[in-house]
Structure 1
């Protein structure tokens, strides 16, 4: 059953209205890839979507509200990163492959959502609690999953007693998110994404398993 979508006046949107709303969000997402979101106007989005500003206002009060909707959908999609941690092997060669897949998941997610994530990061830095909450929600799924794995490894004597599982998990996820967001910057330093990937996988595996990566 499709998710219930309400118009600005509280009415339930029908199939055609939902399609129009989604078209507006899709065109706005495309525009975010080439323009600062504060430079984008309702008229621009409506024109790109083949509709009118009045139609835009039936669904969103302003551009920022539409961007928040896109960001919320992206944060929900970020749940796909959690299964890369849970119920996966974290020792030996298989464990290192798990670390590589987690890194790949972050790199791919950031590439696929680069424009929206750039807006979320900027708004978070500027102190917008709405965007900050979405960012925390998106990353917290991975933090809690990694913390549970590190805690389990600690109980098995593989990770040192002095390690704080939640803090270590937060540090790892912060590292993954930051580096995934700056992939192009590394290339300007003549550091290939492949080298960045392996370096992050080694750090993740070492921190989670308590062992050096297998050769």
Structure 2
């Protein structure tokens, strides 16, 4: 945790207070992985952290505020996803490795933040603008650089001129997010876990380059 941390009433928290605050966030994050977001109560978070509800309220006005704090941390981490696009080559044989790297990196990010990303998806689906903005930032970390890459390729005649880069990029990233969010549901439909990654790599490569990955 970096930067100055303040309590709800504006006081600057010392090291001990910062540690307590982080412990509350860590335990809330764990609870979101096993309990529905709406069922999480302040008293339960405080008990898990070995403190009291009064202490919780020193740092957060309610559970939702703490949830948004955790969501903000996930958004910060998502910024690194841009490198999975901009730091790689999307031409020739190297494009296959780039597609695999993008899929691996995106799925790893989703696994790391799975619990809070599910909460963000729920809030966004309900129309909460705060969660809509958070989801847009997460997906935008890949969609924006991918759009730029496709626009550059299109200018060089390497991307179908009849397609809109932003639409293709948004569709590919939404696909990655959907698969990452519900692998178990896909398995019940016959898609084995081991088959999902190769399928995603194939589709990402095809969507960006217009060609099947070279073997």
TM-score > 0.5, shorter chain as reference: yes
> Is 2:159 the counterpart of 1:163?
no
Give the TM-score normalised by structure 2: 0.96
* Structure 1 residue 2 displacement after superposition: 3.0
2:167 is equivalent to residue 152 of structure 1: no
Cα offset, 1:190, TM superposition? 3.4
What displacement does 1:8 show?
Answer: 0.2
Residue pair 1:153, 1:208 contacting (<8 A) in 2 also? no
Runs of 4+ in 1 over 6 A off after TM superposition: none
> Measured at CA, do residues 194 and 94 of structure 1 come closer, stay the same or move farther in structure 2, by a change above 3 Å?
farther
Number of residues paired by the alignment?
Answer: 215
Q: Report Cα offsets for 1:12-47 as digits up to 9, x if no partner.
A: 111111100000000001111111121111110111
Partner of 1:207: 207
Q: Which 5+ residue runs of structure 1 have no aligned equivalent?
A: none
Could you say which residue in structure 2 is the equivalent of 1:78? 78
1:193 match: 193
2:139 match: 139
Query: RMSD value over aligned CA atoms?
Result: 1.3
TM-superposed deviation, 1:118: 1.0
CA distance in 2, matches of 1:130, 1:93: 41
Separation in 2 of the partners of 1:27 and 1:141?
27
Q: Where do 5+ consecutive residues of structure 2 fail to align?
A: none
Q: Secondary structure, in 3 states, of the residue corresponding to 1:85?
A: helix
In structure 2, the residue matched to 1:39 is 39
CA-to-partner distance for each residue in 1:114-150, whole Å, 9 max, x for gaps? 1111111111101111111111011112111000111
Q: Measure the CA separation in 1 of the matches of 2:202 and 2:16.
A: 49
Is the aligned partner of 1:2 residue 2:2? yes
Name the CA distance, whole Å, in 2 between partners of 1:92 and 1:196.
Answer: 23
Deviates more, 1:103-112 or 1:19-28: 103-112
Q: CA deviation at 1:205?
A: 1.0
